[in-house]
Structure 1
Amino acid sequence: MATAEMEQRWIGKFQENLGIIRKVAGWTTQELADELGVARQTVSNLETGKSPMTKLQYLALRTVFNTEIAGSENRDLAKVIKTLVDDPIEQELAPSASAVSSDEGASETADANIHMNRVANALEQTSNSRAAKPKRSISMTMQALAVITGALASGTAAGLLTYLIFPGGKSGK
């Protein structure tokens, strides 16, 4: 399977579950939008599927959620992302013999049931453990991500890295 196709599957699976992931993180649509530096409507459109998620949006969202997991040790959030996004994609990459079905209609129904069970289990696991946790600001992370993304997009990454590695301006040549 081509790399671009696999990336699209990851992005699609993440977008499909974005609303659930955001809720497990304990954020409103506006709070997530603020963390990303976008309008609330952008997050809403991604959650409803009105707008397709770009690779850059996917990377930014994964960074935000990974920072939340690391900063607040939100294990429930990590479990939900693993259960709803990572595990299904990994299973697609290495399907077992028992998962292969000759009847596509039955396979699609089974996949839908598995997905709904995963969603229900993930929400059930988190509903009891959603104690009030203090929010940690991850704006520094988002600022760093914005700088890195901007540098990569503008082609100045090499210059920035050279400056950081050799601040005196001498590269040793």
Structure 2
Amino acid sequence: MEEIIRMQDNLLLIRRTVGWTAEKFGEKIGVTRQTINNIESGRNKLTKTQYIAMRSVLDAEMAQAPEDTEMLKVLLDVLVDHPENYSTENREELLAKANMMAPSILAGTTTRADVSKEWMKAAGIIVGGAALLGPLGLGAGIAAINAWLVKAVASGKKKPTLKEKKDG
């Protein structure tokens, strides 16, 4: 599943966008700080189970604090879920802006809500407001947020065994 690879490639930025240390994120999904660090550095591959746990925790955070997590919602769309909907130039520019802004959340020098608002303004200029609202919509419900789950589960469907093929 391509989304798992893209999540791993962008995990450090995604985690910083939420404002969580590797230890706090690890606690939320049931792994150690070292596991998060190893996934972010590429020493370990992100498993499907870890991906599902991460997305569930991120979805819960977006549902609990929608005004603070607009940046996260768009980053997940741009970098993990639907990168094909954005030009390479737009993706790179959004990524650069996010990488400049997100560390201040983790450092505690600004709030997640303030960074999210500023980043959304910048993202709107880069991509255009309508393009950002397209796949997400202003009031994206829980069904839209969990679309990744349907895809993750569907991609794991078991192939029939030789015996099942003969019996079927």
TM-score by length of 1: 0.53
> Which residue is 1:153 aligned to?
none
| Structure 1 partner of 2:95 | 119
1:20 to 2:8 alignment: no
What CA deviation, in whole Å up to 9, does each residue of 1:29-88 have, x standing for no partner? 111011011111000011111101111111111111111111111112111111221221
Task: Confirm whether residue 63 of structure 1 aligns to residue 76 of structure 2.
Answer: no
Aligned-pair distance for 1:115?
Answer: 4.8
User: What residue number does 1:81 align with?
Assistant: 76
State the 1:123 CA deviation: 4.0
Structure with higher Rg: it is 1
Deviation at 1:18, TM superposition (A): 0.3
Structure 2, gaps ≥5 residues long: 114-168
How large is the RMSD of aligned CA atoms in angstroms? 2.8
Aligned equivalent of 2:3, options 7, 10, 26: 10
Q: Distance in 1 between matches of 2:45 and 2:112?
A: 33
Q: Secondary structure at the match of 2:82?
A: helix
Residue of 94, 111, 115 corresponding to 1:131: 111
Q: Tell whether the 8 Å contact from 1:79 to 1:122 is kept in structure 2 after alignment.
A: no
Contact in 2 for aligned 1:17/1:84 (Cα 8 Å) = yes
- 2-structure distance, mates of 1:41, 1:118: 28
Selected match of 1:31 from 24, 27, 30: 24
Does the Cα contact within 8 Å between 2:26 and 2:35 map onto a contact in 1? yes
State how far apart, in whole Å, the 2-side matches of 1:21 and 1:118 are.
13
Matched residues in 1 for 2:28 and 2:100: separation? 26
Kept in 2: contact 1:11–1:58 (CA 8 A): yes
How far apart are the structure 2 equivalents of 1:122 and 1:87?
A: 17
User: Displacement, 1:114?
Assistant: 5.7
Where do 5+ consecutive residues of structure 1 fail to align?
Answer: 1-6, 93-98, 100-110, 134-173
Conserved? CA contact 2:22–2:36, under 8 Å: yes
- The whole-number CA distance in structure 2 between the counterparts of 1:60 and 1:125 is 26
TM-score, structure 2 normalization: 0.55
